[in-house]
Amino acid sequence: MDILETITAHKRKEVARQKEAAPLELLFGIGSHRMNRPTLSMRQALEQSPTGIIAEFKRRSPSKGWLFPQAKVEEIVPAYERCGAAACSILTDSDFFGGSFSDLQGARLLVQLPLLRKDFIIDEYQVYQSRVLGADAILLIAACLTKEACKNLARIAHQLELEVLLEVHTEDELSYLNEYVDMLGVNNRNLGTFHTDVENSFRMIACIKKETGAGKDAPLYVSESGISDIKVIKKLRDAGFRGFLIGETFMKTKNPAEAIGDLRIRN
């Protein structure tokens, strides 16, 4: 199995255990106050932001190992907000990325930024779980879903007032687009091999525009992974991208906030 298949197989077992330990009724009871919280629009925040940066909080990577094992949400996420991030991505996968549910819950209490729950969402349960944890948007990865499952999960997300960032890596995966997708992300990282190439966003953009059109209902375009140079951000913006998901570039530094501050000033 490649890395994505390994993670997805593990995630199925993990979600099954979670559903057994905390059925939906119990989940709703525990998180009823969060279910009533008005969500924030990540898409709108990216549209209005001068940077479009989605700053990511993660401690490790399956390919790079530990990036910042002692990273604390209470120190980094508020600093991201102060330094001009438009939104924040919180990894909640523990085994492969060193994240936790408490990272997302903690971030929700600390900032007014839209929060993206970044995980391998393969089950309806995880969408409800995301709302309870305090997310404003969820990531759906085309490579680990069927088209039918993707649309169903996105539909449920909208019912819960969560926005959807659909992640694709290849042109074929553009067929996963549906009416519930708010943002379309091009992952520059191959999740099978974890090889990263920012040129993938530039290769994909013409096909994306052809597939989505240019109307107000078209999803907002996001470039994900491997972004570390302001010149690249400017080129991506010129090509049509309005969101830039950046994680390792920040988290591998001693002070992620300073890193995002540098990009914001120079942008």
> Can you give the pLDDT at residue 78?
96
Q: How far apart are CA 157 and CA 236, in angstroms?
A: 28
CA 183 from chain center: how many Å?
10
Both tokens assigned to 29: 């009871």
Q: How far apart are CA 12 and CA 86, in angstroms?
A: 32
> Can you give the pLDDT at residue 197?
87
Q: How far apart are CA 101 and CA 117, in angstroms?
A: 9
Both tokens assigned to 199: 């040129």
> Can you give the pLDDT at residue 213?
77
Residue 174: closest CA among 198, 210, 200, 199: 210
**Class of CATH domain 3-266:** alpha beta
User: What are the φ and ψ backbone dihedral angles of 207, each rounded to 5 degrees?
Assistant: -65, -35
Q: How many CA atoms lie within 13 A of 150 on its CB side?
A: 23
pTM of the model: 0.95
Residue 52 in 3-state DSSP? coil
Name, in order, each residue with C-beta under 8 angstroms of 23's C-beta and a sequence gap of 6 or more.
none
> Can you give the pLDDT at residue 214?
67
Asked if 57 contacts 103 with a C-beta cutoff of 8 angstroms, the reply is: yes
How do residues 242-265 score in pLDDT, each as one tens digit? 999 999 899 988 888 788 776 653
Both tokens assigned to 193: 């091999």
Q: Is the dihedral of CA 204, 236, 117, 164 positive or negative?
A: negative
Asked if 87 contacts 114 with a C-beta cutoff of 8 angstroms, the reply is: yes
Q: How far apart are CA 126 and CA 109, in angstroms?
A: 20
Amino acid at 59: R
Element (H, E) at 191: none
> Can you give the pLDDT at residue 64?
81
In degrees to the nearest 10, what's the CA dihedral of 250, 253, 254, 255?
-30
Spans in the chain with pLDDT lower than 70: 1, 214-216, 262-267
> Helices (DSSP H) in the chain: which residue ranges?
3-21, 24-30, 32-35, 42-48, 73-82, 101-110, 124-133, 147-159, 199-212, 230-239, 248-251, 256-266
β partners of residue 89: 56, 116
